[in-house]
Amino acid sequence: MGSSWRDQPRGLACAVVAGFFLLTAIAFALAIGAFAAALR
């Protein structure tokens, strides 16, 4: 195996986008949870 994901910019970019989307989804869920708790 000569090439790994570190040698592929596309794979690295995909991992960064996936991580950013995951963090955004978590932050969005926490924001909705806090908003729902505040409305109660």
- Segment 1-40, tens digit of pLDDT: 556 656 667 778 888 999 999 999 999 999 999 999 999 8
The C-alpha atoms of residue 40 and residue 4 are separated, in whole angstroms, by 50
pLDDT at 40: 85
Write out the chain in H/E/C secondary structure.
Answer: CCCCHHHCHHHHHHHHHHHHHHHHHHHHHHHHHHHHHHHC
> What integer pLDDT is reported at residue 33 of this predicted model?
97
In contact, 17 and 27? CB cutoff 8 Å: no
- Is this prediction's pTM over 0.85? no
| pLDDT of res. 6 | 62
